[in-house]
């Protein structure tokens, strides 16, 4: 193993994992000093954007620790955490970052030893993955991922996921979990493509045909997304070259 010392960020829930870390300290449990801790009231409070922001700032690995399932102080916070981490991992994979750099686990207030073991194991895993190779590219991708997880439709789908599986939809119908997850996947993919289209317009107005060629996407698909983003106010028409329209990004527009 190299002498690479990764920067690890830990989000620890106040009621269990933070107390577990405290117990590890007073019990003199040995674990790597790479971790820096942010105490949150519940693991469910960890927004996917916090994680993408950490990666954008050059953190090598993020670990989220909460109460064991069934022990959350706010009842379903750790279920929410599961869904949010699942989404964040999906987004990391989609944008070409390593989802292994993110880990969710459970540590109770009485598990100082377990806290030490989990942190040691995760730190070793990040050491094996090595430092981030191209930090500029990594930061750009993490920023793009941050835009994806901010989309209100995705946030709603993930925020409601646990409740919908527990209680059914508004008509009390049970929803197929795989179908629901597919919908989330499709939305992640669609938002990623839209972000790529926006990136292609970063330097000025573009035509649909040119964007489609640059991104190797079907023209019809780019047209559909451009129309959708135009309706959302994210981009707008700037003019015509002959009868071919050009679009550009709207300042601070849309989602
Ligand atoms: S209070 Fe610990 S996970 Fe919710």
Cα gap 165→196, rounded to integer Å: 32
Cα gap 46→244, rounded to integer Å: 45
Q: Which atom of ligand 1 is nearest to the CA of 81?
A: 3
Q: Which atom of ligand 1 is nearest to the CA of 78?
A: 3
Residue 253 has pLDDT above 70, yes or no: no
Q: Which domains does the chain have, with CATH numbers?
A: 1-200 (3.40.50), 204-255 (1.10.10.10)
Q: What is the CA(168)–ligand 1 centre distance, in A?
A: 24
Give the tens place of pLDDT for each residue, 165-184: 888 888 888 888 999 999 99
Q: How many CA atoms lie within 13 A of 12 on its CB side?
A: 24
Ligand 1 and 67: CB distance under 6 A: yes
The average confidence (pLDDT) of the chain is 94
Which residues, other chains included, contact 61 with Cβ-Cβ below 8 Å and sequence gap of 6+? Answer: 6, 7, 8, 9, 101, 102, 103, 122, 123, 125, 126, 129
Cα gap 191→197, rounded to integer Å: 10
Ligand 1 and 44: CB distance under 6 A: yes
Ligand 1 and 77: CB distance under 6 A: yes
Mean pLDDT of 120-129: 97
**Burial, 74: exposed, middle or buried (Cβ in 10 Å; 0-12, 13-18, 19+)?**
middle
150 in Cβ contact with 255 (< 8 Å): yes
Between helix 135-149 and helix 152-167 the angle, nearest 10°, is 60
Bridge partners (DSSP) listed for residue 244: 241
* pLDDT score recorded for residue 170: 84
Give the tens place of pLDDT for each residue, 46-103: 999 999 999 999 999 999 999 999 999 999 999 999 999 999 999 999 999 999 999 9
Ligand 1 and 146: CB distance under 6 A: no
* pLDDT score recorded for residue 166: 87
Mean pLDDT of 118-133: 96
Ligand 1 and 16: CB distance under 6 A: yes
Ligand 1, pocket-test mutation among 10, 39, 44, 64, most atoms within 8 A of CB: 44
* pLDDT score recorded for residue 252: 66
């Amino acid at each position: 193993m190299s002498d690479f010392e990764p920067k690890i960020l830990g989000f620890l829930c106040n009621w269990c994992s933070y107390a577990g870390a405290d117990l590890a300290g007073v019990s003199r449990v040995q674990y790597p000093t790479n971790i820096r801790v942010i105490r949150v009231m519940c693991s469910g409070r960890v927004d996917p954007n916090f994680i993408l922001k950490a990666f954008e700032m050059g953190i090598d690995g993020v670990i989220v620790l909460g109460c064991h399932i069934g022990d959350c102080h706010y009842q379903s916070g750790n279920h929410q955490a599961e869904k949010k981490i699942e989404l964040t991992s999906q987004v990391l994979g989609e944008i070409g970052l390593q989802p292994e750099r993110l880990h969710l686990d459970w540590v109770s207030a009485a598990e100082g030893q377990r806290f030490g073991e989990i942190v040691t194991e995760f730190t070793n895993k990040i050491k094996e993955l090595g430092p981030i190779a191209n930090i500029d590219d990594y930061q750009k991708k993490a920023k793009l991922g941050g835009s994806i997880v901010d989309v209100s439709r995705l946030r709603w789908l993930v925020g409601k996921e646990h409740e919908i599986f527990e209680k059914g939809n508004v008509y009390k119908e049970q929803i197929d979990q795989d179908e629901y997850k597919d919908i989330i996947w499709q939305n992640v993919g669609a938002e990623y493509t839209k972000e790529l289209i926006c990136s292609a317009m970063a330097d000025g107005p573009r035509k649909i045909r040119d964007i489609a060629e640059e991104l190797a996407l079907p023209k019809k698909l780019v047209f559909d997304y451009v129309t959708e983003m135009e309706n959302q106010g994210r981009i707008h028409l700037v003019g015509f070259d002959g009868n071919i329209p050009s679009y550009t990004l709207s300042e601070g527009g849309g989602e």
